[in-house]
Amino acid sequence: MIKRKLERICVFCGSYSGAREVYVEQAKALGRGMVSREIGLVYGGGGIGIMGAVADAVIEARGKVIGVIPYALATKERGRPDIDMRVVNTMHDRKAMMAELSDAFIAMPGGFGTFEELMETITWGQLGIHQKPVGLLNVAGYYDPMLAMIDRAIEEGFVLPRYRNLFVASSSIDELFDLMSKFQPLEGVVKWIEMSET
What string of H, E and C letters represents the secondary structure of 68-104?
EEEHHHCCCCCCCCCCEEEEECCHHHHHHHHHHHCCE
What is the mean pLDDT, run by run of 10 residues, along the chain of 198 residues?
80 95 98 97 92 96 94 68 86 93 97 96 93 97 98 96 96 97 78 47
Contact 108, 152 (CB under 8 A): no
CA distances from 93 to 97, 111, 184 (A): 6, 20, 27
Assign a CATH topology to domain 8-197. Rossmann fold (3.40.50)
What confidence score (pLDDT) does residue 47 get? Answer: 86
Instruction: Output the pTM of the full model.
Output: 0.90
Integer Cα distance of 165 and 69 in angstroms = 30
Q: Which residues contact 21 (CB under 8 A, 6 or more apart)?
A: none
Q: What are 137-192's pLDDT values in tens digits?
A: 999 999 999 999 999 999 999 999 999 999 999 999 999 999 999 998 887 665 54
Query: Strand, coil or helix: what is 43?
Result: strand
In the prediction, which pLDDT does 76 show?
62
For β-strands 104-107 and 84-88, DSSP reports them as unpaired
pLDDT for the residue 22: 98
For position 78, what pLDDT does the model report? 60
